[in-house]
Amino acid sequence: MDWTLPLLAGSFFYLYFYTPILSTIFYSSSLMRPLNDLLLKVAEGLPVERPPVWMMRQAGRFLPEYRAVRATAGSFQNMLQHPEFAAEVTLQPVDLLGVDAAIIFSDILVIPEAMGCPYVMEEKKGPVFPNPIRSLSDTSTLKPVSSGTNLDDTFEAIKIVKEKLQNSVPLIGFAGAPWTLLAYMIEGKGSKTFSIAKAALYQNPDFCHYVLQQITDATIWYLKSQIAAGVNIVQLFDSWAGQLSKDDFMKFSYPYLLKIAEAITEVPMIIFAKGAHYCLQELSQLPVQVIGLDWTISPNCLGNTPAVALQGNLDPCVLYAPLPRIENETLDMIRSFPPGKHIANLGHGIYPDISPEAAKCFINTVKNYRYS
């Protein structure tokens, strides 16, 4: 029998009926690239017509709509435990401000919690760890992270957000860097100096390295699981890098950033080490695509043609200025970064008392800009 005709008919049937079904499935899955992929393009070194823009802490208290959801949820930690609340506030800055990326609403402290070092978020005081980890004997309560913990709430929130975003903009996943998490786990709370945690670096370095490695393993598992749930890019926050000397950073932070960067190969990575002005060269040699800069760092710190893209770095306090000044400062900032290698952002998280109009002015100024 000649199979040509049935095969042709079969192929036609397959293409005509199944391709749209398959593309619908792929469209709604994380495999599909977002329509607005400016952020991913800059991370991948591809050409763009303008910098993408988002703001650290954009899913937060400066938005009245965030405060309304938080009031309904009752507490910050209740928002984390209910993925539908977390998803709602993640989407607010995309819908209300038009940013080029969403960042999943969660916190860096969910990793210590999953490892067996829980915290409470005290009103006006910040995080408090009832049982800080201060010596090797305290580490017996620590365990490797896995599914079946509080981290599942983040993965569920990511899935809801991905579904609702309909591939409009990329979703950023994140985690705290090992040194920053160790600082909270030892100190037991936020601090201006983190002197208890820093004392441990000098008095008990083996203990510190042991916990740093455990945090690193947990973070790799957590980021890979966020990626499996659908995030398009991840950011590591080393918020307390600026507390360390260069020597201590190279001993207690850098090796663990390197392990994480080497392990995460699926999506691009941004590293934001606040205050790490002393080792930008070293950071740019990590296998990552983007280095975040705080507002004290000069945009040409890595020369005019850096090997990595840069993110930042408007001083968040500029957003207290009158709108025309915000516009001018934002334009000055864009022009001072290498064209095509810049993700516009603030130099740290937006403060809770900044007006949404000021944030919109910053975002719209970036969105109206074109590289000539």
Q: Could you confirm whether 325 is annotated as catalytic?
A: no
Residue 107 binds ligand 1CP, judged by CB under 6 A: yes
Question: Which residue has 């919690």 as its token pair?
Answer: 113
Does 318 bind ligand 1CP (CB under 6 A)? Our answer is no
* Site membership for ligand 1CP, residue 145 (CB under 6 A): no
Which stretch in 119-127, 213-221, 251-259, 310-318 sits in contact with ligand 1CP by CB under 6 A?
A: 119-127
Nearer to ligand 1CP, 58 or 253 (CB): 58
Among 40, 87, 91, 109, binds ligand 1CP (CB under 6 A): 109
Q: Which residues, 37 to 66, sit near ligand 1CP by CB under 6 A?
A: 56-61
Which CB atom, from 168 or from 339, has the smaller least distance to ligand 1CP?
168
Nearer to ligand 1CP, 88 or 300 (CB): 88
| Residues 344, 331 contacting (CB under 8 angstroms) | no
Q: Is 108 in the site for ligand 1CP (CB under 6 A)?
A: yes
Say how far apart CA 85 and CA 74 lie, in whole Å.
11
What angle in degrees, to the nearest 10, is found between the helix axes of 64-73 and 83-97?
A: 170
Give Cβ neighbours of residue 235 (< 8 Å, ≥ 6 apart). 103, 172, 173, 174, 269, 270, 271, 272, 292
CB of 206 to ligand 1CP, least distance (A): 26
Of 50, 66, 134, 184, which is the active-site residue?
184
Whole-angstrom distance, CA of residue 52 vs CA of residue 54: 7
Count of residues that interact with ligand 1CP, criterion CB under 6 A:
21
Based on CB atoms, which residue is closest to ligand 1CP, 108 or 302? 108
Q: Based on the shown chain and the rule CB under 6 A, indicate whether residue 278 belongs to the binding site for ligand 1CP.
A: no
What's at 170, amino acid-wise?
P
**Residues 217-246, mask of contacts with ligand 1CP (x by CB under 6 A):** --------------------x-x-------
225/324 with CB nearer ligand 1CP: 225
Widest CA span in the chain: 84
Q: Which residues pair with 312 in a beta bridge?
A: 344
Least Å from the CB of residue 240 to ligand 1CP: 7
The residue among 60 and 306 lying less far from ligand 1CP, judged by its C-beta, is 60
Q: Out of 174, 179, 222, 337, point to the residue binding ligand 1CP (CB under 6 A).
A: 174
CB of 74 to ligand 1CP, least distance (A): 11
Half-sphere exposure of 294 (CA within 13 A, CB side): 17
By CB under 6 A, residue 100 contacts ligand 1CP: no
Residue 295 in contact with ligand 1CP, rule: CB under 6 A: no
Query: How many angstroms from the chain centroid is the CA of residue 340?
Result: 21
Q: Using CB under 6 A, pick the residue from 62, 85, 105, 249 that binds ligand 1CP.
A: 105
In angstroms, rounded to a whole number, what is the distance separating the alpha carbons of residues 41 and 46?
5
Q: Is 184 a catalytic residue?
A: yes
- State which residue has the least CB distance to ligand 1CP: 190
- Out of 57, 138, 278, 320, the active site residue is 57
Q: Please name every residue paired with 128 in a beta bridge, in sequence order, or none if there are none.
A: 120, 189
61 is catalytic: yes
Identify whether 57 is a catalytic site residue: yes
Please state the closest distance from residue 324 (CB atom) to ligand 1CP, in A.
Answer: 27
Catalytic residue among 37, 66, 100, 107: 107
Binding site for ligand 1CP (CB under 6 A): 56-61, 70, 76, 103, 105, 107-109, 121, 126-127, 174, 190, 237, 239, 349
